[in-house]
């Protein structure tokens, strides 16, 4: 006998992840399941400690109390961690998404050496484990976010340009650091951030089935949601938007080809162009990390440096053209500028939207398709924690048998 919930129970769990808390009738209507099926499933999940009832006094018809269902908030925890060149970010969440802990540590000195960076990540994870233990919770897993090409199935980083890593068995390393205490998932910053962005929209009542989240890391990667689910590609290689060729005889790209979008609108190229155009910034005095570079560019633009402002506008126009390519191919509800793009949006967004509209094949409807993420730097971490939960709600992993 399989211990985990069957396919219909997973539908219920998944629906609550996206839309909870919900009344029983709303849950039944939302899943499209028969009333008797919904009732049997929710009772079983309540008994197993995966769901909880929430009494909301006097909010129903005629002021009667309504009992809502949601994922249980007391027994389990999920952890997300982003291992970046600049920083390691981690957070611990309940199944309802409530944040229990947030840790931020610098990483620079260790980044070039995978072993040293993993040791640093292990120390951060230990902090999260301590909290989960003190809180008497069971850790369902750790989601690890890295900017680069990730083979999620084998848990390997194929190529992370910002870290200079190739073929690193990251899952294994993190699982070792955890002493096997919880399963480990890995995926790209772009995919995890897209998951977090989608949940944010669902929780705010959005019903869109699609979005494309563009990371503002060294290069542009896309997290693609289509039909309500993340689309990673058949080999996990979808979303290489930074390497769409946008100029036949364009600039040389790190990938060895010419004219990739990254050479114009990747964050690394944007900083080079902006600092190159800035008054009185010497090449040798440029900041080492992406975050520091973004800070410097933002403050130069803020102070009215026209060279910097124009360089950002030009980058914005290329970003808009790139977003239009994404729309021609996928027609998502929104293209969302994330990460450091959000920070530089005051200077990027207007020119980007102008070029975007000019490059569209058909005029869009009234709503603005090119948007800026409101989630900020923590989106990938929150998405990584959410992905752990989703791996249970889609049946990839089985919940512990009872509590």
8 Å CB contact between 157 and 149: yes
Report the chain's C-alpha Rg in angstroms: 22
8 Å CB contact between 114 and 177: no
> Phi and psi dihedrals of 157, rounded to 5?
-85, 115
Point out which span in 97-105, 134-142, 246-254, 373-381 binds a copy of itself (CB under 8 A).
246-254
100 touches a copy of itself (CB under 8 A): no
Neighbours of 86 (CB within 10 A): 20
Residue placing its CB nearer to a copy of itself in the complex, 169 or 254? 254
Residue 375: which residues within 8 A CB-CB, separation 6 or more? 193, 196, 197, 200, 338, 382
Q: Which of 246, 292, 313, 372 binds a copy of itself (CB under 8 A)?
A: 246
Q: Which of 112, 153, 329, 350 binds a copy of itself (CB under 8 A)?
A: 329
Touching a copy of itself, residues 346-365 (CB under 8 A): 359, 361-362, 364-365
Q: From residue 61 to residue 80, what is the string marking binding to a copy of itself with x (rule CB under 8 A)?
A: --------------------
8 Å CB contact between 319 and 339: no
8 Å CB contact between 191 and 232: yes
Residue placing its CB nearer to a copy of itself in the complex, 52 or 225? 225
Element (H, E) at 12: helix 7-19
32 touches a copy of itself (CB under 8 A): yes
Cβ 320 to a copy of itself, closest distance in Å?
Answer: 13
Residue placing its CB nearer to a copy of itself in the complex, 38 or 94? 38
Neighbours of 331 (CB within 10 A): 14
366 touches a copy of itself (CB under 8 A): no
243 touches a copy of itself (CB under 8 A): yes
Element (H, E) at 334: none
Q: Which two tokens stand for residue 76?
A: 């389990």
Interacting residue ranges for a copy of itself, rule: CB under 8 A: 6-8, 10-11, 31-34, 37, 149, 158-159, 208-210, 222, 224, 226-227, 229, 231-241, 243-250, 255, 257, 321, 325-333, 359, 361-362, 364-365, 395
């Amino acid at each position: 006998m399989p211990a985990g919930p069957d396919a219909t129970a997973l539908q219920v769990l998944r629906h609550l992840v996206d839309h909870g808390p919900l009344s029983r009738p709303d849950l039944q209507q939302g899943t499209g399941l028969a009333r008797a099926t919904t009732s049997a499933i929710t009772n079983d999940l309540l008994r197993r400690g995966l769901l909880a009832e929430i009494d909301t006094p006097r909010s129903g018809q005629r002021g009667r109390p309504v009992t809502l269902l949601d994922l249980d908030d007391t027994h389990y925890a999920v952890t997300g961690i982003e291992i970046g060149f600049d920083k390691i970010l981690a957070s611990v969440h309940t199944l309802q998404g409530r944040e229990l802990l947030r840790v931020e540590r610098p990483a620079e000195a260790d980044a070039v050496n995978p072993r040293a960076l993993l040791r640093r990540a292990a120390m951060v994870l230990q902090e999260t484990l301590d909290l989960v233990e003190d809180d008497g919770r069971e850790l369902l897993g750790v989601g690890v976010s890295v900017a680069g090409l990730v083979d999620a199935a084998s848990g390997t980083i194929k190529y992370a340009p910002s870290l200079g890593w190739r073929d690193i068995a990251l899952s294994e390393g993190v699982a070792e650091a955890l002493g096997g205490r919880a399963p480990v998932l890995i995926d790209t910053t772009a995919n995890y951030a897209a998951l977090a962005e989608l949940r944010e929209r669902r929780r705010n009542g959005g019903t869109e089935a699609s979005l494309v989240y563009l990371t503002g890391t060294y290069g542009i990667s896309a997290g693609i949601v289509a039909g309500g689910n993340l689309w990673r590609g058949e080999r996990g290689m979808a979303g290489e938007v930074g390497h769409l060729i946008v100029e036949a005889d364009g600039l040389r790209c790190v990938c060895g080809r010419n004219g990739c979008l990254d050479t114009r609108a990747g964050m690394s190229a944007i900083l080079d162009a902006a600092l190159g155009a800035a008054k009185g910034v010497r090449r040798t005095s440029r900041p080492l990390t992406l975050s520091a570079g973004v800070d410097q560019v933002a403050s130069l633009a803020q102070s009215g440096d026209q060279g910097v402002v124009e360089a950002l506008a030009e980058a914005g126009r290329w970003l808009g053209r790139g977003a239009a390519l994404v729309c021609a191919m996928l027609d998502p509800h929104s293209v969302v500028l994330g990460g450091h793009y959000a920070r530089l949006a005051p200077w990027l967004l207007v020119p980007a939207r102008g070029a975007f509209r000019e490059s569209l094949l058909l005029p869009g409807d009234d709503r603005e398709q090119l948007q800026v993420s409101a989630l900020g730097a923590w989106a990938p971490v929150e998405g990584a924690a959410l992905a752990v939960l989703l791996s249970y709600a889609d049946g990839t992993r089985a919940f512990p048998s009872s509590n």
